Structure 1
C-alpha cells in the first residue's frame, strides 16, 4: 500500500455542494490500471482522476480519467477539478494563470481566474447527422416523440455524446427516461433554450448515460457535453457565446456552465471548490 494525496473537488457549482464532484488521486505513479479502476468503482462518483507526470513537454501534468465502468479520453468537470486539485496540492504551472493538461485527446489548455477555471473545447471526434435508427433508439430510451426533437447531431468529444435539441427548457426538464438497463451503451445530451430567464441562463441541459448492461444514470453537470453542445449550437446559429447553461436542475443540483469565445476557441468554465482534502491508501 502507498499513500497518495487526495482531493474531492466540486465543479460548476453555483454555491457550496451544488455542482458535480470529482475525486482526484495525485502522485499516482505506481498505480496499475486495475488499481485505478478499483479506486474509481469505490469512490462511486461519475469520474475519478489520476495525476501523473506528463509525457509531452508542453504539458504541466498528465491525467487519466475513469468512470466506474471505463477509462475516458476526455471529460470536462474532471479536467477542471483535476487542475484545481493539482494547484491546491502545490503544483506550479509553467505559465501563470494557465495550465496545459495532457489526456487521452491530447493537450487541453486551461485558464485560471481565482476559483474559476475554464478549458478550451477539444475538437469533436464525431459530428454530423444522426441516423434514423439511432434517433429511434434515443427516443425509446428517453421516452421522446420524434416530433419533439427540433434537431439532433453527433457531438462526441470522447464519451460518445449524441446531442438532442428540444423546443425549450421546460420540455428538457420534463424528460422522464427509461431508467432500465440496456444492452448497448448510449450517451445523450438533451438541451433546450431558456429565453427570458431572470437568472441569465440561456440553455437548460441534461445528460443521460447508459453503459452497456447498467441502469441509466443522469450526470449532474457535464463539462464535455456542454463543450460539444456549444460547438454545435453556436455553429448552427441557435446560440451565441458568451452564454450560461444550467444543468442538474432536475436532480437537485444547481450547476452553471459559462461558455465564452476567445482566441478562436470556445472556453467552458465555472466555479471549482476543494471540498475534501487528505490522503488515500492504495
Structure 2
C-alpha cells in the first residue's frame, strides 16, 4: 500500500509494509524536488534467513519516477521489527545516512547482549551523521529539526520537516494509542514526556507514525494531527496524567511478546542496516543469545503495541 499526502508544505509518500506493519516515508519539497527517506525497510524472511529489497525498490522507483534528489536517508532509531534499508538506498542514491547520537548507547547495550567482541565499534560510525537534540537540516526549501523522543528506545528521535512530525514508535494512530516501552533501554515515564513534547507542537502539525496494524479491520493509516492526537488518542488524549499513562502502558507491555524479528533485527540495525561481518568463506551468520529474554507471553506479536 502507498498513499500520498500533501501537508505542511511537503509532499509525503507513505509506503506500508504489511508483514511488519511499518510505515516508510519519502518526504519531498515540491519546489526543489529535494527529498528525504525515513525508516526504509529491508525485507527479511526469518524462516529462510533471507533478505530481499522489495520495499526499498518501491521507494527507489518512486524517487526516480518523481525525479527527486535524495538529500537524506534517515532512521528514527534502531528498529526491533525490521531491518533498515538505509545502506542499500545510499548505494543507489549517494545520499548521507543519519540517526540520533544516542544510538551509541543502544549499540553498547546490544553489543553486550549479543556478546560481540571488543572490535565492534559503538561510536555510531555506521552512519554518516549523528544528530543531536535541536539539530537542524534542510530538505530543499523545507526546514528540518531533530527532537529527542526517548521512551520506546533510549535513542528514539522525531524528525520535524516543514509542518510535519515523523514520530516513529511513540504515538500510534489515535484509536491505537502509543508504543510499547519495555524493550531494553525503554522507559514508560520517558515515553510520556516525549509524547508531551510532540503534543506541544502547533495543533496543525502533521503526525506521521511508524506502525499501524489496522485495528478492528480498518485499513492501515499513517496520518493525523497534533490536535487530533490531543483530543482522541486512547492512551494520552484528554490530559491523561503521567502516572495514569505509566500504569496503563506498563500493564499492557507485560502482556506483549517480543517482536518475532527482534533478535535478528537489532544486530543488523546497530550496524546501520548491515549484516554481521562474513566469515572466512564469505557467509554471514546471525548471533542469537540463549535465555536472554523470557518466552513470549499471551498477546499480539507487534513491536509498537
The answer to whether TM tops 0.5 is no
Q: TM-score, normalised by structure 2?
A: 0.24
Q: TM-score, normalised by structure 1?
A: 0.26
| Higher strand proportion (structure 1 or 2) | 1
